Copies of this chain bind each other. A is one copy, B any other.
Amino acid sequence: MTDMEEIKKKIASDPFARTLGVRFDEIREGYAKLSMQVRDDMINFNGSTHGGVIFALADIAFSAASNSHGTAAVALHANITYLKAVTPGSTLTATGIEENKTRKTGLYRITIQDGDGDQIAVFQGVVYRKGQPLL
């Protein structure tokens, strides 16, 4: 396998991503695109998709994009702004891009869309890199 293939395999081995049924549709340097279907056990007491599920999908895209260079990235801070309630059964898509990268730090922006293509949340994450290889 090439390095990039091994990096992608490592990132996609995430157990909690598997628990949620996340699909890693695309990973390349500084970029990740993921999707998942919202199950009935992923809702809140109002019957909408749980905010923690939306965050988790974005967080997995954040981790994929920030670790895609092959250097281990540790999440320091993340924030999310919710824009629209989402009914279960919908397929969510998270697209993560690298806004900034220095040797030690990085800023990532992840947008989440529902099955209608509406933006439902915006996520930002800041990482710190100690310099250790991912693999």
A32 interface residue per 8 A CB criterion: no
CA distance A99 to B80 in the complex (A): 13
Inter-subunit contact A75/B56 (CB<8 Å): no
CA distance A60 to B34 in the complex (A): 24
Inter-subunit contact B52/A16 (CB<8 Å): yes
CB proximity to B under 8 Å, residues A74-104 = 74-83, 85, 99-100, 104
CA distance A11 to B50 in the complex (A): 13
In the complex, what residues of B have CB within 8 A of residue A130's CB? 104
Determine how close the nearest CB of chain B comes to the CB of A50; give it in whole angstroms.
Answer: 4
Inter-subunit contact B82/A79 (CB<8 Å): no
A10 interface residue per 8 A CB criterion: yes
Determine how close the nearest CB of chain B comes to the CB of A18; give it in whole angstroms.
Answer: 7
